[in-house]
Structure 1
Amino acid sequence: MKINKKNAEHYIWGDQCDGWHLVNQQDLSVIHERMPPNTSEVRHYHTKSRQFFFVLTGTATLEINGVLENITPLEGVEVPSHVAHQMMNRSDEDVEFLVISQPTSKEDRVQI
C-alpha cells in the first residue's frame, strides 16, 4: 500500500509542528515532519536510536553536541545514539524533512 501525507497517521508536536508516520515499526521509524518558521524541538538524545534527518524543502538548522549545521534541500545528517541534538527552523519559511530512526525513537528520548 502506498503511503503519503494524506493517508499517514498525523500528529502535532511542539509549537504547531506536524508529523506524519510513514513507517511506524519497532525496528524502523520514518516520519515526514513540517516545522513552521522560528520553531524548534527540545534538545535531547536517544539511548538506542540512531537518526537520519533529510531535508525536503527549506533550510533546517540541526544542533549536534553544540555545533550548528544548516541543512538545505536534498541534504541529510546522521545523529548516532547518545549524541545530544536539536532540530530548529530559524528561517522565514516552512521546513519539511524526513526523520529516519533505527530502532524507533518512541520512548527512547532523554531531554536535556
Structure 2
Amino acid sequence: MKIIDINNVEVSDTPHKVDVKKLISYEYASIIHIELKPDEALKLHITSVDVCFYGLEGEGIVEIGDETKPIKKDQLIFSPAGIRHRLMNKSNKNFRFLVIKTPTPKEETKLL
C-alpha cells in the first residue's frame, strides 16, 4: 500500500506555471493535482492519451475542442486523446482538481 499526503508533495515546474503536484505515475496511469488561483488557467494543449478531470473544490471552466462547460466539485469530465483542452478559473476562489491520464503519456504535452 502506498499513501500519498498531498501536503508533502512538491510543486512541479511545468510550462503552465500554476500549482501542479504529480501524485503518482506508472505505466498505466498518472494522477496529478492542480490548483488554479482566481484568474489562472492552463495553457491550451494537446495530450497523446485520454484524460479525465475530477473537481475537488471550487468551480472552473473546461474547454475541450470547440466545447466549453463549467466544472465543479464531484464532477468528472472526460477528454479524449489528441483533442485540444484547458481548464480555467474565472471565479474569486481557488479551483482544485485531479487530472487522470490513462495510460501515462510517453510523449510530451503539445502546447498550442
Q: CA deviation at 1:104?
A: 1.9
Flag as ranges the 4+ runs of structure 1 deviating above 6 A: none
| Cα separation, 2, equivalents of 1:97 and 1:28 | 16
Q: CA deviation at 1:107?
A: 3.5
Q: Which moved more, 1:54-63 or 1:23-32?
A: 23-32
The alignment's TM-score, normalised by the length of structure 2, stands at: 0.87
Q: Percent of counterpart pairs with the same letter?
A: 26
What SS does structure 1 have at the residue aligned with 2:12? strand
Size of the aligned set, in residue pairs, is 110
The alignment's TM-score, normalised by the length of structure 1, stands at: 0.87
Relative to structure 1, is the Cα distance of residues 27 and 108 closer, same or farther in structure 2, using a 3 angstrom cutoff? farther
What do you get for the CA RMSD once the two structures are aligned?
1.6
Paired residue for 2:32? 31
| Cα separation, 1, equivalents of 2:83 and 2:45 | 8
1:60 equivalent in alignment to 2:60: yes
CA shift digits 1:66-90 (9 cap, x unpaired): 2111001100101010111111111
1:22 equivalent in alignment to 2:23: yes
Higher strand share: 1
